[in-house]
Structure 1
Amino acid sequence: MPLRFLHRFVRLAPTGPAQGKGEGMPRRPSPLPPPLGDTFSVRAAREAGVTGARLRARDLESPFSGVRRLRKPDEVPQDHDDSPTAACARVATARLVSTAHAYGTVMSEEAFFCHVTAAAIWGLPLPLRVLRMESRSSPTGTRGERPIDVGVRLPRRGPRVSGVRTHRLAGELLSVREVGGRRVTSPATTWAQLAEELTVDELIIVGDAIVHQPRGRNAIKGAPGSGLATLDQLAAAATAGRRTGVEKLRQALPHIRAGSMSPPETQLRLAATRAGLPEPALDFDVLDPSGAMIGFTELAYPRWMILIEFEGDHHRVSRAQWDRDIEKHARCVELGWNVLRFTGRHVYPTPEPAVARIRAALVRAGWHPGPEPRIAR
């Protein structure tokens, strides 16, 4: 055997110790200092003693220069919404918030998050189309991650960073708060800014989420003004100077209600009233004859003894919730209530089937379309 060939054979042939379990497996990156968290600046990592090689490890990504973030699979947060695109929208929202958090580690003190990014940070319901933007560089028109929205007050100039959309804003149009250590436009200001991209109905949905008064312990109704903002604050933000989309804001304001708890409920309410049905009561307490509370429902027509329940997926997967629902509905029926139960498929892609069921129930209960009949005196 030629010497050159023998040398090659010996070099490539496996030997005993190298054939153990895990042969050829890359070494797992060493743990990072816990105070850094999942997202951190390179500067903070260096100060904590992290080496350059560790910062280049495969388990880290760099969404912005000088920033590192642990790579994680996208997780779908559980939510009440059952629309076909809801899961995708929740993933995109979580990703946008994560990217904003990453940029926040190097963001200047005078900058703040605004527009769609601020809405995502506040946890407001956003349509998938604004969370994903068309890629101008792609000939196929594929959609990619939305740049984060960062604002500065005029006359300052904002950052020029890839992945950041800068907004230079007049001071009279702004109210800025701190959320989790980051500067973010207030919910009312954010709602007004969204008029640049949202439709009137989408502004109503977001407005409902902002003014919603969450229930406290023992399902006690939230106090007036306990939401992220009040209707008066939304109105003030809409008229605070010259805004893009101000006409859409004016059209949306009269239809925003504090009792709506989810986008499907808002859409069902809007569809019902536009079809000529009476406006339902929202977040309605159902009481027994003694005044004790049986439960509460999303929409109701007390005059016609009709309750409307929107069943999100948590009603199905939670055994405790399912048991409570069964008991509540049985008790309501005993007291003469007609309980209409809907899921996402009754609202998406169109709420017309749900509206038809509500109309039929109202008619059976004695409701007459058109103006209320006059009472003879």
Structure 2
Amino acid sequence: MSPVLPPLPSGPLSLDAARDLGLADHQWRMPQLLRATRSVRSTTPLTAVHERAAAFALALPPDVAFSHLTAARLWGLPLPAPLEEQEELDVIRATGRARIERRGCIGHRGLEHRAVSSVQGLRVTSLADTWVDLGECVPRGLGRDDLVVAGDVVATRLGGEGHASPLAEALDARVRPRHARTLADALRLVRPGVRSPAETRARLVFHDAGFPEPEVNGHVHAAGGGWLAEGDLVWRAQRVIGEYQGSVHAGIRRRSEDSYRNGLLGDEGWTVLELFAQDLVPGARRVSTLRRFARALALDPARLRLH
């Protein structure tokens, strides 16, 4: 018969806390307790990033904060799927302190140049500083568009004068940040108010093709002043709206509502063109989509970068 553990709280447990609960050292080594990291165990598997971070926090010095990709995940920022699966946790400490060297961690220094916030009870670099730190992740597969997607989310959450100003302030406060040019290029394209990463990526496709910049989630009113709709991408002068159709639009009821709304917009002289994920993938379909929008906007395709 397997030895029985005494009742223990769920979640991660440090060795010191286990001893305070009366757990003997030989019980600490029992297989029912899952190893999270050195001197931390758990009665249940720790799979979510905040669960793993909370476990490691029990073994880390109190002056450490989570940063870079780990901070981005804890903040809920959108990242490419491969980076969402990173096993190691990014942690950061002040320059004058020893770099964290622990299996399962990637140690950084420079916390004195970053603000610290709390996310689910964990010390985490601030939203704006986390976005700047993502510049260091460019070699790990993070591109300009990915930085814009994350930046749109941060700018929307933080607001402020000029909306993206907290990001600009955080970037300006750094001395020689890594991949500063990529960060600066992305920052110029960050816009607040975007509802989803797909909308950001759609906007960037039009930007890179040389289209005039649309309003993001612009409000459209009828000639009499009544509110009609909020368009994902609005070219107001040309009375054209681009609507990204994600999975939330798939149901028949939602499609019916969209059709009714688009009819009202059409009655007011607006042209509504739908966009799907496949329209944004490089290739013939994207070229065809861009040409359709160019015709609606009365743009000369020869002056655009459609390929």
Under a length normalisation based on structure 2, what TM-score does the superposition of the two structures give?
0.81
Q: Which residue of 1 aligns with 2:123?
A: 183
Q: Which residue of 2 aligns with 1:166?
A: 107
SS in 1 for 2:118: strand
Instruction: Provide closer, same or farther for how the CA distance between residues 151 and 362 of structure 1 changes in structure 2, counting only shifts above 3 A.
Output: same
Q: How many Å apart are 1:267 and its aligned residue?
A: 1.9
Q: Which residue of 1 aligns with 2:231?
A: 297
Does the 8 Å CA contact 1:177/1:186 hold for their aligned counterparts? yes
Q: Which residue of 2 aligns with 1:150?
A: 91
Q: How many Å apart are 1:37 and its aligned residue?
A: 4.1
1:62 alignment partner AA: R
Relative contact order, higher structure (CA 8 A, sep 6+): 1
Q: Deviations over 1:270-289 (max 9, x none)?
A: 22122121111101112233
Q: Which residue of 1 aligns with 2:289?
A: 357
1:309 aligns with 2:243: yes
Instruction: Provide closer, same or farther for how the CA distance between residues 320 and 61 of structure 1 changes in structure 2, counting only shifts above 3 A.
Output: farther
SS in 1 for 2:37: coil
| Aligned CA-pair RMSD | 3.2
Q: How many Å apart are 1:187 and its aligned residue?
A: 1.2
Q: Which residue of 1 aligns with 2:67?
A: 114
Under a length normalisation based on structure 1, what TM-score does the superposition of the two structures give?
0.68
Instruction: Provide closer, same or farther for how the CA distance between residues 292 and 168 of structure 1 changes in structure 2, counting only shifts above 3 A.
Output: same
2:276 alignment partner AA: T
Q: Which residue of 2 aligns with 1:212?
A: 156
Any residues of structure 2 matched to 1:142-291 within 5 Å, and which? 145-169=86-110, 171=112, 173-198=113-138, 199-212=143-156, 224-225=159-160, 230-240=163-173, 241-291=175-225
Does the 8 Å CA contact 1:287/1:293 hold for their aligned counterparts? yes
1:344 and 1:244 mapped to 2: Cα distance? 32
1:332 aligns with 2:265: yes
Q: How many Å apart are 1:61 and its aligned residue?
A: 2.8
Q: Which residue of 2 aligns with 1:125?
A: 78
Q: Deviations over 1:202-241 (max 9, x none)?
A: 222221121025xxxxxxxxx9439xx9422211222222
Q: Any gaps of 5 or more consecutive residues in structure 1?
A: 1-25, 75-94, 133-144, 214-222, 372-377
2:41 equivalent among 61, 68, 86: 68
Q: Deviations over 1:296-348 (max 9, x none)?
A: 1221112222211212223325x765554344333323333222222222224
1:287 alignment partner AA: H
Segments of 4+ moved more than 6 angstroms: none
1:233 and 1:153 mapped to 2: Cα distance? 22
2:118 and 2:22 mapped to 1: Cα distance? 30
Between the two proteins, the alignment pairs up a number of residues equal to 295
Larger Rg: 1
Q: Deviations over 1:99-144 (max 9, x none)?
A: 2122123332100001111111111111234345xxxxxxxxxxxx
2:295 alignment partner AA: V
1:101 aligns with 2:42: no
1:355 and 1:231 mapped to 2: Cα distance? 31
Q: How many Å apart are 1:31 and its aligned residue?
A: 9.9
